[in-house]
Amino acid sequence: MFEHFSGTESYIASAELREAVNVALALERPLLIKGEPGTGKTLLATAVSEALGRPLHTWHVKSTSKARDGLYVYDAVQRLHDSRFDDTSVSDIRAYIRFGGLGQALRSEEPSVALIDEIDKADLEFPNDLLHELDAMSFKVDETGDVYSAKHRPLVIITSNNEKELPDAFLRRCIFHFISFPSPELMAEIVQVHHPDVERILVEEAIARFYWLRDLPELRKPPATSELVDWISALVRGGIPAENLTDRVPYLGALIKKERDLLATQRAMKSTKSRRR
């Protein structure tokens, strides 16, 4: 009936996340994704574009980004430069319009996926400036008067790290999904994708250790999925056997990135050891 996303070989999506993507596809509404760092928010867009065979247009938002930048940029300075120092004709303004990620997706001839990455990085009012474009899926280039309307409404995936609250009017238009931290079972699947050849016992021990660490209440920045994946790579390269993980955490630096947290972890390990004795 309509396109259906069910994850890819390298991207394991929970049933609820798949549901959210499919609702966004069916309703042709933007999909807002939030979640802890390292839970694969940005990767989702790549996975969806691969799974659906749609091209991906990406727009990384920065603190200085303006809403129009994602649609197009008019390079007036280049045009001015050309008019003074170059003999090319500058009468065609269109030659100086550069389309941004969202603009490209809206102009695309085929159905596409547009990623607006880290929308919360920009100014508070930024999302509101995109309301019309996201509703109508069309935009106008003021300099030329050209209006571009999407032939196929692209699937717009928006990620946010919660640095700023997003405006209500914007939220109402979105489909929302919060990627919660993967359960140990789902985590085992994710690790399997990244490290298909690693011994199972090592993966199990590593995951157990990882969740023990995450549950330490003292940690300011608990390790995330990407850190676990890196840590397992380190364990494999270092040739660490699984039984060494029961009372130690080798290469702790791959998991814990703050000095305070390192100290807290060491304290916690000492206290569990002494309890065992």
Partner 1 sequence: MVVALFGEGDVFLDFFYLLRAQGVPVSVREWLTWLECIERGLVAADLGRAYSVGRAVMVKHERHLDIYDLCFAHYFGGADAPEGLHDALEEWLSSPLPLPELSPEDFERLEKLDLDRLRELFEERLKEQTERHDGGSRWIGTGGTSPFGHGGRHPSGIRVGGRGRGRSAIQIAGERRFRAYRADRVLDTRQLGAALRRLRRLGRGERADELDLEETIRRTAQQAGELEVVLKPPRENTLKLILLMDVGGSMDDHARLVEQLFSAAHQASHFKVFKPLYFHNCVYDCVYEEAAMRTSVSLESLHRTLDSQTRLLIIGDACMSPYELFSVGGMINYHEHNSRTGAEWLYTLRTFFPHNVWLNPLPERFWSHPTIEAIGGIFPMRELTLEGLSEAVKLLSQTVPDTQRH
Which residues contribute to the site for partner 1 (CB under 8 A)?
1, 15-16, 19-20, 22-24, 26-27, 29, 32, 34, 76-77, 80, 83-84, 124, 162-165, 168, 171-172, 174-178, 180, 220
Buried b (16+ CB within 10 A) or exposed e, 181-199: ebeeeebeebbeeebeebe
Query: Would you call 76 exposed, middle or buried from its count of C-beta atoms within 10 A (0-12, 13-18, 19+)?
Result: exposed
Minimum CB separation of residue 54 from partner 1 in Å reads: 20
End-to-end Cα spacing for the chain: 62
**Nearer to partner 1 among residue 85 and residue 109 (C-beta):** 85
**Nearer to partner 1 among residue 23 and residue 208 (C-beta):** 23
**Nearer to partner 1 among residue 220 and residue 270 (C-beta):** 220
Minimum CB separation of residue 119 from partner 1 in Å reads: 13
Minimum CB separation of residue 76 from partner 1 in Å reads: 5
Which residues, including other chains, have CB under 8 Å from residue 226's CB and lie 6 or more apart? 38
Q: What does the H/E/C string look like for 205-261?
A: HHHHHHHHHHCCCCCCCCCCHHHHHHHHHHHHHCCCCHHHHCCCCCCHHHCCCCHHH
Backbone angles phi, psi at 255, to 5 degrees: -100, -40
Minimum CB separation of residue 15 from partner 1 in Å reads: 7
Which residues, including other chains, have CB under 8 Å from residue 26's CB and lie 6 or more apart? 2
**Nearer to partner 1 among residue 94 and residue 220 (C-beta):** 220
What CA–CA distance (Å, rounded) separates 103 from 133? 10
What CA–CA distance (Å, rounded) separates 143 from 24? 33
**Nearer to partner 1 among residue 171 and residue 201 (C-beta):** 171
Minimum CB separation of residue 199 from partner 1 in Å reads: 31
Q: What does the H/E/C string look like for 141-181?
A: CCCCCCEEECCCCCEEEEEECCCCCCCHHHHHHCEEEEECC
Minimum CB separation of residue 242 from partner 1 in Å reads: 30
What CA–CA distance (Å, rounded) separates 39 from 31? 16
Minimum CB separation of residue 120 from partner 1 in Å reads: 8
**Nearer to partner 1 among residue 96 and residue 99 (C-beta):** 96
Minimum CB separation of residue 177 from partner 1 in Å reads: 6
Contact 104, 46 (CB under 8 A): no
**Nearer to partner 1 among residue 22 and residue 42 (C-beta):** 22
**Nearer to partner 1 among residue 80 and residue 193 (C-beta):** 80
